[in-house]
Amino acid sequence: MRYLAVAAAAAVAIALAPVAGASDDGERRAKTPTVKVADDFYDPTKLNVKTGTKVKFKWASDNLNSHNVTLTKGPKGVKKKDFESATGTIKVKYNPTFEKKGTYNLLCTIHPDVMKMKVTVKK
């Protein structure tokens, strides 16, 4: 009988233990959102994230045209120059962190009529 009580107590302790990789408050960390930069679109075109989220912009490996990511309008106090990627066809790396709450309007300066996206940042 005593063995069953010890086994039951151990099972409860394991069930209540924090999940590996969980943050201090017990919540799992969110996966880094990825935006595809392709000929001639972003996917997705709308993204909702929490403050402090890093977003990975990934250029498609089959792009024929050069593209970039540029902030056209953002929350008050955010500088446009802080949200400008390099321009290129493939293998460009751009991983901005969205620290300030608000709406970030982004576009490709080469294809501004078709390559637009909006990132909404909430607390």
CA distance 68 to 112: 10
pLDDT per position as a tens digit, 65-112: 999 999 999 999 999 999 999 999 999 999 999 999 999 999 999 999
Single-letter amino acid, residue 65: N
Q: To 10 degrees, the CA torsion angle through 102, 108, 111, 116?
A: -20
DSSP secondary structure code for residue 8 in this structure: H
pLDDT of 14 > 90? The answer is: no
pLDDT per position as a tens digit, 15-62: 434 333 333 333 445 689 999 999 999 999 999 999 999 999 999 999
Q: Where are the domains of the chain?
A: 31-122
CATH code at 31-122: 2.60.40.420
Q: What pTM does this model have? A: 0.75
CA distance 7 to 36: 49
